[in-house]
Chain A
């Protein structure tokens, strides 16, 4: 199988600060990546995606950076809010959206 992400680390940030969540992937053939947010007791929720022909993509308060050279992906959250507290997963795809490999996630704690 594929190897995406790190064993669940925890990131604690102060409300209003910026957060950076990192993810490493192993398959150089992966051509599409998604970040998901999962709150306790809920299913993962799409945040932002990026294709391998891009190195940066911005959304509302979020930015995803892709470094294909070192097979690294990051999610930046600006002005982190308590509602951002959740587990964040990166997922990679190599088969036209049919199968995604998820990392083990990063838990984000936002302190008020």
Chain B
């Protein structure tokens, strides 16, 4: 595809359940980012991958959150024992490894609602 693809676009779950959110970056982009956006706020950094490895996971709020990118392309954000406060739009972005700007190419996000 031409852009960053995120699935599902909407996810409603119950408190305590496990959730996986998937991101398919732009082909050839080695850098991948996860951000979280609450209503009326700007995106908040969660984690950054360069290739298969998490280069910076300092934004993950606690150990219930985990992300993987096993083959250096698709990434999955995993949230265990979901809480109501996890409700937000989870944005994925990618970028090429060598670039002249810091432009991130964002997907449309996965809206997570925890009841």
Chains A and B bind each other: yes
Chain A residues proximal to chain B, CB less than 8 Å? 4-5, 7-8, 32, 34, 41-46, 49, 89, 91, 93, 95, 97-105
Contacts A102-B42, A104-B42: A97 and B102 contacting too (C-beta < 8 A)? yes
The binding surface of chain B is classed by DSSP as loop
Within 8 Å by CB of B4, from A43, A101, A103, lies A43
Q: A104: which B residues are within 8 A, CB to CB?
A: 40-42
Q: B25: which A residues are within 8 A, CB to CB?
A: none
Within 8 Å by CB of B55, from A7, A45, A49, A98, lies A98
Chain B residues proximal to chain A, CB less than 8 Å? 4, 31, 35, 40-45, 48, 55-56, 58-59, 91, 93, 95, 99, 101-109
> A45 near B101 (CB under 8 angstroms)?
no
Most A-side CB within 10 Å, residue of B40, B48, B93, B104: B104
Most A-side CB within 10 Å, residue of B43, B91, B103: B43
> A93 near B102 (CB under 8 angstroms)?
yes
Distance (Å) between the CB of A7 and the closest chain B CB? 8
Contacts A43-B93, A43-B107: A99 and B42 contacting too (C-beta < 8 A)? no
Distance (Å) between the CB of B69 and the closest chain A CB? 15
